[in-house]
Amino acid sequence: SQTIHQWPATLVQPVGSPLSLECTVEGTSNPNLYWYRQAAGRGLQLLFYSVGIGQISSEVPQNLSASRPQDRQFILSSKKLLLSDSGFYLCAWNRGGNTEAFFGQGTRLTVV
C-alpha cells in the first residue's frame, strides 16, 4: 500500500531563517506531488506541483520554492521566512489525471 510521510509535524522558526520541509511517498512510482498551505480561515491553497523529477510548477508567487530531487521526494524551502509564511503545510500525491489525492499529516509552521 502507498504511504506518504511528511516532517516535521510542528516547527517554530524566527523571521529571516531558512526553511526545509520534506515529504516522501512509498509504494508507488512516478506520482504527481503537491504542496498545499492552509492559512487561518482559508481553504487549501495549492503552492507547487510536480509531475516528475526536477519538474516544478508554481501556482502562486511567493517566498517559497520547491524541489524534487528524487521520484518520491518533494521538498519545500525558503531562504528567508516571513511572518506571513506561517500556516499548515500539506504534502499530497496522486496518480495524475482526475484521481483523488492522498495527504500527509501536515506541518504546522509558526514564524515568530
Residues of this chain that interact with another protein (CB under 8 A) are: 6, 32, 34, 36, 41-46, 49, 51, 57, 59, 88, 90, 92, 94, 96-106, 108
Closest CB 80 distance from another protein, rounded Å:
26
Closest CB 69 distance from another protein, rounded Å:
20
- Kindly tell me which of 6 and 78 has the beta carbon lying closer to another protein: 6
Closest CB 39 distance from another protein, rounded Å:
10
Closest CB 76 distance from another protein, rounded Å:
15
Task: Give, in order, the Cα–Cα distances in Å from 23 to each of 16, 27, 49, 82.
Answer: 23, 14, 13, 22
- Kindly tell me which of 15 and 51 has the beta carbon lying closer to another protein: 51
DSSP E strands in the chain: the ranges are 3-7, 10-13, 19-26, 32-38, 44-52, 55-58, 65-70, 73-78, 87-94, 102-103, 107-111
- Find how far residue 72's CA is from the centre of its chain: 13
